[in-house]
Amino acid sequence: MLVCSCNFITEQEIIETIDSLLDEDCWQLIVPAKVYHAMQKRGRCCGCFPNVVDIIIRTTENYHARRHSTDDEIFDFMTRLKQFHEENRRADLERRQKGHRAA
């Protein structure tokens, strides 16, 4: 399934990139820009980023489910990851609203 129409990136390509980033450091916090940078792409309209965040969360959960991470480690990490993305989403929304007011 095509996730990013600007760069023609599929969900499978994103999942594979996230998995390889997690292979390097399974506890790193991954954001869409990091995924796109690893793919040598960049966000253009960034309209796909909310979907990419959902894929990051889902892929990270699946990654740790396949590993020998303890339930406590996974719960703590996923809580931090979701909180991190929620804060980024809120900051992005505020930035966009300010941008509309100024225009």
Binding region for ligand FES (CB under 6 A): 4-7, 43-48
Are 18 and 67 within 8 A, CB to CB? no
Which three-class secondary structure state does DSSP give residue 47?
coil
Q: Which is nearer to ligand FES, 27 or 47 (CB)?
A: 47
Q: Which is nearer to ligand FES, 80 or 95 (CB)?
A: 95
Smallest separation, CB 44 to ligand FES (Å): 4
Q: Which is nearer to ligand FES, 2 or 91 (CB)?
A: 2
CA dist 42 and 102 (Å) reads 26
Smallest separation, CB 14 to ligand FES (Å): 10
The label of the residue with tokens 């450091």 reads 25
Smallest separation, CB 101 to ligand FES (Å): 24
Tokens of 51: 């979907």
CA dist 30 and 28 (Å) reads 6
